[in-house]
Amino acid sequence: MTKVEKPWGYELLWAVTDRYIGKIIHVNAGHALSLQYHERKDETILVWSGRVILEVKEDGQLVQREMAPGKSIHLAPGTVHRITALEESDLVEVSTPELEDVIRLEDNYGRADPLHRSK
């Protein structure tokens, strides 16, 4: 397993193939991933432990959903989304293998790409 430190927690990559990726995403309480989308990456996320707020852009508006253990969501390419941990949270993600396919629209850690803020 490969551990990748992130400013909001860490990722544990438990499966890396040319067809799919499996990872555990640990998000520290009160921290958020980027408001982002992917051009090619297709992913499904399952809340394993903790509670998170998932923001997804629907009809031009960001809609917030609280998600608890056992809840999952499929995020197709182009779907703008962000996850914020209400408490220490672990998520299981299975996706296509495009790990670098991240367009950050907003980011609490200074990683946003200003050229893509209009989506």
Q: How far is CA 50 from the centre of its chain?
A: 15
pTM of the complete model beyond 0.85: yes
- Burial of residue 67 (CB within 10 Å: 0-12, 13-18, 19+) is buried
Render pLDDT for 33-65 as a digit per residue (tens, 0 to 9): 999 999 999 999 999 999 999 999 999 999 999
Q: How many domains does the chain have?
A: 1
- Domain extent, residue 94, equals 2-116
Render pLDDT for 74-92 as a digit per residue (tens, 0 to 9): 999 999 999 999 999 999 9
CATH number of the domain enclosing 44: 2.60.120.10
Render pLDDT for 95-106 as a digit per residue (tens, 0 to 9): 999 999 999 999
